[in-house]
Structure 1
C-alpha cells in the first residue's frame, strides 16, 4: 500500500499530474468572486461559506478523471487487480493520494481565501474543521465515480454528472457549518453529519469501487 501511495504521489507531482491544479482553481474562485460582486464586505461575508465550499468541491472534481485512467491505459490496473493487495485497498490508497494532493492543500490555504472573501473571524475554525471532516468524503466518492467511468473515452463529463449529485449533502452541511459558526450559532450538528458522511463513505464505497473496477476490467 505504501509503495502504491508513493507511486501515485510521485505521478501527481509531475507535470500534468494534477498537483496544484485544484489549488489554483480554488484560488481563482476566491479571487474572481469578490471582483464580480464588488467591494461589499457584508455581502461577501454572507456568501463566503457557500462560495468557499463550492470552490473546494469543484477543485476536487478537476483531477478525478486521472485516478484510474492512466493506470487503465498502461495496463497497471490489470496488474493491481491480480496483486496481493485487494482492489478495495487500491481504492482506499487512490482516495488517500487524491486527498493528500488536492484536499489537504485546500485545507491549508482555506484561511487565506476566507480572508479574501471577508469571512468573519469566528468562521475560520469552522471552515478548517468542516474541510478536514468533509473533504475525505469528496475524494472517496470521487474515487467511486472514477471507477465507474474508467475506460470510457471523454468520461470526464459523465464522471461529473455521476459525482456531483453525491457531493450535494457534503456541500450543504459543510457550508451550513461554516455559516452557523461565522454567525456565532451552534454548528455541532452539521459537523457531526459531515463526519458521518465521510465515515460512511470510507466504510462502504471502497467495496463499491472495487466492484466497479472488476466489472470494467472484464
Structure 2
C-alpha cells in the first residue's frame, strides 16, 4: 500500500505541475453540458429526459481527453522502462496510475455533474443517483481507457486510435450509468443498474491492471 500511495502522489504531483492538462477536461465537460440546454430550448420535460445521457456522454468524452497522458510522458523520458526493470511489480505501478487518473479526472467530473444537472431541472434524488453512477462508472472508464492508452503507446496518431479502441468498450458503462437515472425517473428500481456497474468495477479492478501491464510490455518490446 505504501508503494501504491507513493505512485499516486507522484502522478498527482506531476499532473499539478501542468494544471492545463488537469483543467482542460473539466472545462470541456462544463461547456458540453451547458451547450445542450441552449441548443434544445427551455422545454423542461425534454431537458429532464435528456439530462442523464448528455451528462454521461460529456463525462465520458472529458475522461478520454487525459487518457493519452497516462503513460506517454513516462514512455518519452524513459521512466517506463525503469519501472519494468525495478523490483516493484509493474501491475502495482499501473494500478497507482489508474487511481491517480480517476482522482484527477473521474472524481471531479462526478462532483461537478450534480451542479451541471441543475440547469436541466433534475430533482435532488436524480442528482444524487447521477453522482453515484458516475462514482461507480468513472473508475471503470479509467481502467478500460488505460488498456487503450497502453496499446497505442508510441503509435503515430495514437489519439484517434485510442478513441476507436475505447469508445465501444465504454458503451455498457454509459448505458447502465444513464439508465439508472432514467429508471428512477420512470418509477423503476435502480438497484439493477447500480449493481451491474459495481460488478463491472470489481471485475475491472481485478483483471484490467494485468491487461494493461501486458499491453505495456508489448509496447516496449
TM-score by length of 1: 0.96
Does residue 1:210 correspond to 2:218, yes or no? no
Q: What's the secondary structure of 1:19's corresponding residue?
A: helix
5+ long unaligned stretches in structure 1: none
Q: How does 1:62-81 map to 2 (within 5 A)?
A: 62-81=65-84
5+ long unaligned stretches in structure 2: none
> Which segments of structure 1 move beyond 6 Å, counting only runs of 4 or more?
none
Q: How does 1:1-218 map to 2 (within 5 A)?
A: 1-15=4-18, 18-218=21-221
Deviation at 1:110, TM superposition (A): 1.2
Looking at structure 1, the residues matched to 33 and 205 of structure 2 have their Cα atoms a distance apart, in angstroms, of 29
CA contact (8 A) 1:30 1:116 kept: no
Greater Cα shift, 21-30 or 71-80: 21-30
Looking at structure 2, the residues matched to 181 and 22 of structure 1 have their Cα atoms a distance apart, in angstroms, of 28
Count of residue pairs the alignment pairs up: 218
Greater Cα shift, 15-24 or 206-215: 15-24
TM-score by length of 2: 0.95
CA RMSD of aligned residues (A): 1.2
Q: What's the secondary structure of 1:186's corresponding residue?
A: coil
